[in-house]
């Protein structure tokens, strides 16, 4: 009997599957997608019902030859790419490549790479899922229609090489709008008053002023429209403090409540990314890379690969009943009956959640972090411990928090003191306390209150007026941006990490001190797209398109119908914008700043050194200038410093050199410019801030990122952000895109006269290019 063939997506799964299924099966890998839309053309027959024209991805010819060779004498093929829409597309394209008379194909979904799960999936294969494939195809076509038809407009209007994306551009808009909120924010002063008090028993405690003459003290946090802050300045605070001098402070109420704090559900993709970013300081991309490794299998001895977690791209909190029972068994043994709920805990999914996969959980809770620690890298172990703790804690009893509120009266003023004590730690014994480095080891939180009772007279030790200022909304971190995207229905679990990497790699945002800031280019592109393509950049419109794609996957909507609904209005806008640019025949985004030389309205243009202001009347008027933005985002012309004559002579042409100021400090330039373009730095170094590339440093054990740097000679290179601790550096610009051929973590930009600009694998032994 001939062997049967299983085709998976990732080569790292091959050994794990072979181990459990034995010699009856051959296992081959597609190494990601094998077909896609062509790179240098639209690849969609719009008039023919949006039919895509798929091409073999460059470099995948060898993979396809190997697949055909493996399938040569096989009549039954099991297609087992990842259990999601991308995996479904890979399965369909693989079936097309290996199609043969009499050959049958089955789809198997490995939600976890354990012996039981693999054998169960193989015993109950499914047909290929057309709806899931068509949903992925519709997304790919939709993204291509937007990207390939808006990007050339950006080239003509702003700068060649720019790109727009259906989802990425909305993410950049969110970052830009938050930055403008910050710029327009007007800080407001307010004051608080706290009393230091002492009762009959220690310790002393503090209480804050909450009422005056029976009226609530209004702060910016709780005021309604039209209300004024109660204590707006120091003078008002001083009057209240003076009025309280010598007043009797007496306890008027002591209220004790016990409340339950319930455990969190097991991780979804977005919640895992948020927690890993906040607690472990991992990027979203690093989190997903490590999670993929834990899912695909980790060696626990020679030839003993074991998948440690379930599939890591999911928005469901559903958990298999047998996994719940296993967790309950462990809780009972390790923590005892008080921590074990009487009944298993099951979590309700939110509306519109795709429930194809379970939540992210350990494949076995008995693979404790301590048990597998010696087989995992530091990063793998940290992430696995987080997943393991969250899942086990989700099946534990709630924590019980004893809260005490004490009201204190002083003449016509009322103060409030609150404190809480953990009466029973419940799930917090494992998850919250452990994950937060045991910050609450003493079990107390907030103010520590002494024994107090109604009517007790208190001694006022001090009255503390304190000045505050309202704060602007915070910039987005990776965690909060993922949360914002998820809450607004932008993207899906499989796309969050890619979105965050793309908006940095394209130069539209930068990650500074863990927070996103839009670049000037990000502002320029976003403003242009919002003005001309308001629907494409609309958050609710993008969310609606995601819902349409979900309905296609559920068989509720046809993919051609969904694309037609989108493309009709989109095409009209495209033609209008395109005609307007052709009529204008001038690059650049308009401003309201008059040219100092001729009075024309200046435009923002983007050159090789970045954005600058230029007069649209060129060549009649040649005015150009760098610009900055003020605190409120307004554009300001940067006055060009005057050239200073020097005694230096140009070594290339013999003319005098002049001293100038550039973006990287002072330098000498030949006075014979533009005939002679010789320059020489006067600083010997560059103080330009490094720009993140979104690529993780490939050095083992390093958690830095590759950032732009400039050599002493002024040449740009890319080095680790943890320099001098890590000295890794390369000349070619890295791009956060995994090599589909060999799995290398990133590609690099290259350029030759023959090929032009292209991407190549960072692994010199790999020949992949695109």
Q: Could you list the active site residues?
A: 311
Which phi and psi (to 5°) does residue 128 adopt?
A: -60, 140
Can you count the helices (H) and strands (E) in the chain?
A: 18, 37
Angstrom distance (rounded) from CA 719 to CA 729:
4
Instruction: Provide DSSP, 124-138.
Output: S-B---HHHHHHHHH
**Which positions ≥6 away from 102 have C-beta within 8 Å?**
75
Structure tokens at 361: 């959980």
Structure tokens at 644: 């200073």
Burial category of 305 from C-beta neighbours within 10 Å (exposed 0-12, middle 13-18, buried 19 and up)? buried
Beta bridge partners of 611: 606
**Which positions ≥6 away from 268 have C-beta within 8 Å?**
314, 315, 316, 317, 359, 360, 493
Strands (E), 470-514: 509-512
**Which positions ≥6 away from 676 have C-beta within 8 Å?**
650, 652, 653, 655, 670
Instruction: Provide DSSP, 71-83.
Output: TTT-SEEEEE--S
Beta bridge partners of 29: 8
* Cα separation values, 378 from 117, 487, 567, 658, Å: 27, 31, 48, 54
Instruction: Provide DSSP, 671-721.
Output: TTTTT---EEESSSS--PPP-EEEEE--STT---EEEEEE-TTS-EEEEET
Helix/strand/coil for 13: helix
Q: In the chain, helix, strand, coil percent, each to 5? A: 35, 25, 40
* Cα separation values, 174 from 6, 177, 496, Å: 43, 5, 14
**Which positions ≥6 away from 506 have C-beta within 8 Å?**
162, 163, 168
- Residue 3 DSSP symbol: P
Instruction: Provide DSSP, 86-142.
Output: HHHHHHHHHHHHH--TT-EEEE---SS-SHHHHHHHHHS-B---HHHHHHHHHHHHH
Instruction: Provide DSSP, 288-353.
Output: HHHHHHHHH-EESSTT-EE--B--S--------HHHHHHHHHHHHHHT-GGGS-SS---PPPPTT-
Burial category of 221 from C-beta neighbours within 10 Å (exposed 0-12, middle 13-18, buried 19 and up)? exposed
Contact 593, 616 (CB under 8 A): no
Angstrom distance (rounded) from CA 4 to CA 122:
11
- Is residue 353 reached through a cis peptide bond, with omega within 30 degrees of 0 on the bond before it? no
Pairing of strands 189-198, 399-410: unpaired
Cβ neighbours, 10 Å, residue 398:
16
**Which positions ≥6 away from 44 have C-beta within 8 Å?**
37, 50, 51, 52, 53, 141, 144, 145
């Amino acid at each position: 009997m001939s062997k049967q063939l299983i085709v998976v997506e990732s080569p790292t799964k091959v050994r794990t599957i072979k181990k459990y299924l034995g010699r009856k099966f051959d296992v081959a890998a597609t190494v990601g997608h094998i077909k896609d839309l062509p790179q240098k053309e639209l690849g969609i027959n719009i008039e023919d019902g949006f039919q895509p024209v798929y091409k073999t991805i460059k470099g995948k010819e060898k993979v396809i030859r190997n697949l055909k060779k493996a399938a040569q004498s096989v009549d039954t093929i099991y297609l087992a790419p990842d259990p999601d829409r991308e995996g479904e597309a890979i399965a369909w394209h693989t079936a097309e490549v290996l199609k043969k008379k009499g050959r049958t194909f089955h789809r198997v979904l490995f939600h976890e790479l354990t012996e039981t799960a693999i054998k169960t999936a193989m015993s109950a294969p499914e047909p290929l899922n057309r709806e899931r494939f068509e949903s992925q195809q519709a997304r790919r076509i939709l993204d291509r229609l937007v990207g390939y038809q808006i990007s050339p407009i950006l080239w003509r209007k702003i700068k060649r090489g720019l790109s727009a994306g259906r989802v990425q551009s909305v993410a950049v808009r969110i970052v830009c709008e938050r930055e403008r909120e910050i710029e327009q924010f007007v800080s407001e002063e307010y004051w608080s008053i706290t009393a230091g008090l002492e009762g009959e028993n220690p310790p002393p405690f503090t209480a804050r002023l909450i009422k005056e003459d029976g009226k609530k003290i209004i702060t910016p946090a709780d005021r309604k429209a039209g209300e004024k802050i109660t204590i707006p300045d120091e003078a008002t605070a001083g009057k209240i403090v003076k009025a309280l001098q010598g007043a009797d402070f007496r306890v008027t109420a002591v209220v004790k409540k016990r409340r339950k704090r319930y455990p969190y559900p097991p991780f979804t993709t977005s919640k895992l990314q948020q927690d890993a970013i906040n607690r472990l300081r991992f990027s979203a991309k690093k989190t997903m890379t490590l999670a993929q490794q834990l899912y695909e299998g980790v060696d626990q001895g020679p030839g003993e690969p074991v998948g440690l977690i379930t599939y890591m791209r999911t928005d469901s909190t559903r958990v298999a009943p047998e996994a719940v029972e296993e967790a309950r068994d462990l809780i009972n043994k390790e923590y005892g009956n008080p921590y074990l709920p009487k009944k298993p805990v099951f979590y309700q999914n939110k509306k519109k959640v795709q429930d194809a996969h379970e939540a992210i959980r350990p494949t076995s809770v008995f693979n404790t972090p301590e048990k597998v620690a010696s087989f995992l890298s530091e990063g793998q172990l940290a992430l696995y411990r987080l997943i393991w703790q969250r899942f086990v804690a989700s099946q534990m009893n709630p924590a019980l928090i004893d809260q005490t509120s004490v009201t204190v009266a002083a003449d016509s003023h009322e103060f409030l003191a609150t404190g809480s004590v953990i009466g029973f730690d419940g799930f917090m014994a494992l998850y919250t306390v452990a994950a937060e480095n045991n910050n609450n080891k003493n079990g107390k939180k907030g103010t520590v209150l002494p024994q107090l009772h109604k009517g007790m007279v208190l001694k006022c030790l001090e009255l503390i007026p304190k000045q505050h200022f309202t704060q602007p909304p915070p910039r987005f971190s990776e965690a909060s941006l993922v949360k914002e995207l998820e809450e607004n229905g932008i993207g899906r679990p499989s796309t969050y990490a890619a979105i965050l990497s793309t908006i940095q790699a394209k130069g539209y945002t930068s990650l500074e001190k863990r927070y996103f800031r839009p670049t000037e280019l990000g502002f320029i592109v976003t403003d242009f797209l919002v003005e001309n393509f308001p629907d494409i950049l609309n958050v609710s419109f993008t969310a609606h398109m995601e819902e349409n794609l979900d309905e296609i996957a559920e068989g509720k909507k046809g993919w051609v119908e969904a694309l037609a609904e989108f493309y009709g209005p989109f095409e009209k806008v495209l033609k209008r914008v395109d005609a307007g640019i052709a009529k204008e025949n001038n690059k650049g985004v308009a401003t309201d700043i008059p040219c100092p030389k001729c009075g024309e309205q200046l435009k923002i243009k983007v050159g090789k050194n970045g954005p600058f202001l230029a007069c649209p009347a060129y060549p009649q008027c040649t005015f150009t200038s760098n610009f900055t933005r003020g605190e409120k985002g307004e554009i300001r012309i940067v006055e060009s410093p005057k050239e200073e004559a020097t005694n230096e002579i140009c070594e290339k042409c013999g003319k005098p050199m002049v001293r100038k100021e550039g973006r990287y400090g002072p330098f000498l330039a030949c006075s014979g410019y533009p005939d002679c373009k010789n320059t020489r730095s006067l600083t010997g170094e560059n103080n330009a801030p490094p720009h993140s590339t979104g690529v993780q440093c490939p050095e083992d054990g390093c958690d830095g990122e590759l950032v732009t740097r400039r050599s002493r000679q002024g040449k740009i290179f890319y080095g680790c952000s943890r320099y001098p601790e890590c000295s890794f550096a390369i000349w070619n610009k890295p791009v956060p895109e995994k090599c589909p051929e060999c799995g290398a973590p990133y590609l690099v930009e290259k350029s030759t006269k023959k090929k032009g600009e292209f991407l190549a694998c960072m692994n010199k032994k790999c020949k992949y290019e695109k």
